[in-house]
Amino acid sequence: MAQPRIYSGMQPSSGSLHLGNYIGALQQWRRMQDDYDAFFSIVDLHAITVPQSPEVLREQVRTLAAQYMAGGIDPDRSCLYVQSHVAAHAQLAWLLSTITGFGEASRMTQFKDKTAKGGQEAASVGLFTYPILMAADILLYDADIVPVGDDQKQHVELTRDLAERFNKRFGKTFTVPKPQILADGARIYDLQNPQSKMSKSADTDKGVVWLLDEPTKTAKKIRSAVTDTDGAIRADREAKPGVTNLLEILTAMTGEPVAALEARFEGQGYGAFKTEVADAVVAELAPVRERTLELLADPAELDRLLAANAERAAEVADATLARAMEAMGLR
Ligand code: AMP
Ligand code: TRP
């Protein structure tokens, strides 16, 4: 029997992934590769919904591709490709935009969040229609499951609505996907400000562990993580967010459950605990960093891999696009 299909992607909108992306996305994707037919994209068309420098964007696409692979996405098994290399994404997004209500699109909370600072007048139309492009990504591949963080759940719900609406109006064309929302322990917080998610747009990067940070820098960031004065190593998201975050990071690195860590560290100080977390993160990330740098040292080979994967992706996507166009009376 064919394996169910998953689809997910990340934007090439920073110079490196951080530990939150690694635990919340990459680690999960790597595990899912065994049980699913997987498509993972680098969504550069989404990245340009806010201004990007062309040279920087090109570099960031390559870096993200290298980090996907270094983090364990196997390009021979999973289809790892760049969104803009497959023309069908933009084409299907247009078709879907014609069945999306303006009011429906206006209710997307991420657009409201992203424009809260600068105002909607200053935003591009592309930023507004971004969720429709995301729906096209997912529907082109007949994905059954879409693993995402909860900030993307509303976009996957929109995707479901659009798929159902299209199927009802034009005949069964698309698979209706389900979101798979990240488990709570897979959400990582800023080391300096453990009430906020670790994020690429943090004010300072002292609390953000970048996958490309040198190991000594990573260890230092973790040893300087904000904790509390109560001294006990136990999980309590409300009262002890810093310690809880470190416990969850350690669990993600070694697989040792939080309860076991609490028992093992009973009576010990924060110093020894932080050193162990730092060592575990460095042990996991140092090889990922090495491998990323190796892959980036040979951009021609990286580009060749991405081109081959884009071809595989296009075969699937073009067939779905043709189906959708025919159903709408366009071919
Ligand atoms: P972003 O960095 O917001 O583009 O997110 C890319 C992916 O990483 C999404 O699947 C997010 O859910 C995941 N992600 C981002 N930040 C975190 C975090 N702090 N903890 C866990 N997952 C995260
Ligand atoms: N919008 C997603 C994010 O910012 C990225 C994304 C684009 C995506 N297309 C997708 C995620 C399709 C899952 C499936 O994180």
Q: At what angle do helices 54-70 and 270-296 cross, to 10 degrees?
A: 110
Q: Are 309 and 83 in contact (CB under 8 A)?
A: no
Q: For ligand 2, is residue 9 a contact (CB within 6 Å)?
A: yes
Catalytic status, residue 197: yes
pTM for the full model? 0.96
- Rounded distance from Cα 131 to ligand 2 centre (Å): 9
- Rounded distance from Cα 290 to ligand 2 centre (Å): 27
Going by C-alpha positions, the residue among 291, 317, 297 that lies closest to residue 26 is 291
pLDDT (0 to 100) of residue 1:
65
Ligand 2 probe mutation, 10, 109, 141, 199, most atoms within 8 A of CB? 10
Torsion, Cα of 102, 103, 107, 112 (10° steps): 60
The ligand that comes nearest to the alpha carbon of residue 5 is: 2
What is the chain's pLDDT, residue by residue, as a tens digit (331 residues)? 689 999 999 999 999 999 999 999 999 999 999 999 999 999 999 999 999 999 999 999 999 999 999 999 999 999 999 999 999 999 999 999 999 999 999 999 999 999 998 999 999 999 999 999 999 999 999 999 999 988 999 999 999 999 999 999 999 999 999 999 987 668 999 999 999 999 999 989 999 999 999 999 999 999 999 999 999 999 999 999 999 999 999 999 999 999 999 999 999 999 999 999 999 999 999 999 999 999 999 999 999 999 999 999 999 999 999 999 999 999 8
Catalytic status, residue 200: yes
Q: How far apart are CA 253 and CA 237, in angstroms?
A: 19
Q: Give the ligand 1 atom nearest the CA of 13.
A: 4
Nearest-CA residue for ligand 1 atom 3 is 199
pLDDT (0 to 100) of residue 150:
87
The ligand that comes nearest to the alpha carbon of residue 134 is: 2
Nearest-CA residue for ligand 1 atom 8 is 21
Q: Give the ligand 1 atom nearest the CA of 151.
A: 12
- Rounded distance from Cα 49 to ligand 2 centre (Å): 13
- Rounded distance from Cα 267 to ligand 2 centre (Å): 43
The ligand that comes nearest to the alpha carbon of residue 152 is: 2
Torsion, Cα of 61, 67, 73, 79 (10° steps): 10
Please list every protein residue whose CB sits less than 6 Å from any atom of ligand 1.
10-11, 20-21, 23-25, 148-149, 182, 186-188, 197-200
Q: For ligand 2, is residue 21 a contact (CB within 6 Å)?
A: no
Q: Give the ligand 1 atom nearest the CA of 10.
A: 6
Point out the catalytic residue in the list 114, 153, 178, 206: 114
Point out the catalytic residue in the list 178, 200, 206, 217: 200
pLDDT (0 to 100) of residue 166:
99
